[in-house]
Amino acid sequence: MAKILVVDDSGYARRILRQALEPLGHEVVEAGSGMAGLEAFAVQAPDLVLLDLTMEDLGGLEVLTRLRELDPAARVIVVSADIQRSTGNDVARAGAFRFLAKPADPAELVEAVDAALAREAP
């Protein structure tokens, strides 16, 4: 299965995502901040990134922009409590594959992860 990097400053949110993905056979790597997420991306080379938007050190949109600079084919799903339409538009323009509201519905999360992993790299 896939290696998935979860970037979220909430340990609880990371744990919930891990619990949804590991039973499906995915390897989950965690990062508790935006900077740690960028470092983990460079070292771990994940197949997919699940990214929160609101983090203290580096916001998710900035992380997403930097991930796209590091790897234009990076697959990123944003999972955030900020569900404003404008936020969804911003993350889509920045190159996110999908935007999910937090807490993510497990079935919707699995469908989004499967779709992102099945997507051909640009």
Note the pLDDT of residue 85: 74
pTM for this prediction: 0.93
Residues 84-107: pLDDT tens digits? Answer: 777 778 888 888 999 998 888 999
CATH number of 10-24+31-118: 3.40.50.2300
* Burial profile 84-120: b = 16 or more Cβ within 10 angstroms, e = fewer: eeebbebbeebbbbbbbebebeeeebeebbeebeeee
Residues 21-47: pLDDT tens digits? Answer: 999 999 999 999 999 999 999 999 999
- Domain ranges (residues) in the chain: 10-24+31-118
